[in-house]
Chains A and B, each alone.
Chain A
Amino acid sequence: MTTTSDTRNDLRTPPRTQQRGVVGAVSNYVDERTSISGFIKLMARKVFPDHWSFMLGEVALWCFVIILLSGTFLTFFFQASMAEVEYDGSYVPLKGLEMSAAMASTLDISFDVRGGLLMRQIHHWAALLFIATIMLHMARVFFTGAFRKPRELNWVIGFLLWILAMGEGFTGYSLPDDLLSGNGLRIIDGLIKGIPVVGTWTSYLLFGGEFPGTQIIGRLYTLHILLLPAVIVALIGLHMVFLIVHKHTQFAGPGKTNDNVVGYPILPVYGAKMAGTFFLVFGVIVAIAGLFTINPIWNYGPYDPSPVSAGTQPDWYIGFADGALRLVPPGWEFVLFDTYTVSMNILAPIIAITLWIVAVMFYPFIEGWITGDKREHHLADRPRNVPTRTALGAAGIVYYGAMFVAASSDLIATHFQMSMENVIWALQFVFIVGPFIAYFITKRICIALQKKDREMALHGYESGRIVRLPGGEFVEVHQPLDEYERWRLVSFNDYKPLMIRPNARGQISPFERVRAVLSRWFFEDRIAPVTRGELEASHGAHGHREGANEPDLHQSELATAGQGVGAPPHTKP
């Protein structure tokens, strides 16, 4: 507040206002009425760390802005109605055909509204990229542990945004009422009807009668342009507020600690970078939309419940649900009490998907409980330094990936000349066994990388120079790392499995036992970070050996090699 009043006094002095010209005068006018300078000062000095993967969330935000802009244009011309009309636009092969007003107006946007097709394609391509960047952003946050305290709630908000984005995507995909999207809605209808007891009623409620009815497009439109975007905008706002409150995570490095943020301030650097990112993302999307067809509804024709096209798939982000349905072996449905069919072919995929999604949502809390870690973390983990989490993430990706790939089983079969049954069997195997294989392989890779890091921190990297010693022995000269490199390799937290401790009444609950078992599993295989003592010991030994064994080395090389000995301790407390 003191800074604000200072500024005010400064600005009141006439000569200074004169010097600042029109911009200064306008800023002053605004500031005197809004006191916004304090906020701007705070925001302009916010510092963001620099790493390409930290930009992904921002790219998702810009995709959303592009979707909002292009979507607004589309609402000017789209009619969300299932009223039957005769198409009379300029696309000849559909002329005179009966179709819904939604389909006809989408065709008009594509062929008769200037720039309409480009806008449609921008909207759709941006939607595909929106969810792709969201998921890549989620993967980045997951694998760097950026969801840990204090950011667990922000992870949940991000998760909700992902689910809502998929909802937006699906409702939008269904709006044109073409053959492809109608088939997609029919699958959703089948999924809903497969839910025991309430399924049929829910379906009738949703569609306003038997599928397809005459209501669904209007209802989806309301969700698509009103409710879902409003919730998404609100949650994005909350996501940003949390980002500012928590500050951004950063990777460990010299001077980058758990208590500071090292990077560039918003003004002038990051503001420019953000604006640049927006224009670049816009450029990429417009370039793609201008050159590549997406969702050519004129090929698909109006929806009619009888035809189903080969190669009917949802957009990629719903692919995992479609794939889960395809992975179910035949004959899983059974009849209860002679009258009641239990559609396990629908319920099993729903359960498989729900379990995965719930695990994603609650992962920060699950990991926090297992590790018992209540500390605040502002340093991003290198994925290798938490092998179990990284391995779990890899397993989750394979689980999701098997479902996702299964959605294109027919195209894999035709394009790689395989039998569709074999493709499905292979994917069923990947779905069930793949996550375990991915878990073990990833964990081993992480531990091996940690061992390599430890080796490098202690003994330097292999220089590739082989020296023959007087005694006939060959040794490879190891070049010590510089301080900055070493800092990156040794600064991570060491964890140990939780000990079982009795509570206040001296009892050990079964709950605690489970937790201890899980904690042991989480941390049992680990490589301890290099301690300062180990570093000093190793460098002492090196200096001694190198000095003693390499009398013939060139003077400058000796000087380089000797740095390790004379240098001050490398790890700072």
Chain B
Amino acid sequence: MLLLTCPACGVAADETELAPGGEAHLTRVGPDGDDASFEGYLFQRANPRGVHFERWRHVYGCGKWFHAARDTATLEVFGTYSAQTTAPPDDILDKIKARRPGWEGNA
């Protein structure tokens, strides 16, 4: 059972307190987008084995959404951070690079 710390309220929460929200940092494609970019936004996900950025909601707690940087294979958590950002913050990226020297970001 995963243990993630909610950055909004500071609680280290069991997975049963949380709801997953899929891949983080997607860019919304609105009415102006062409078919390919809209398809990408709606359906295409990286689903990497390894470092991944995810959305979670502390649904049975403070109710806030947040982001988590996690290794999908080892389940190591590099950190959790605010949902109100379009890219992972530097301290999280530094932590990931320290733990996964070969990692070059999710293309």
* A and B interact: no
A interface with B by C-beta (< 8 Å): none
The residues of B with any CB-CB pair to A shorter than 8 Å are: none
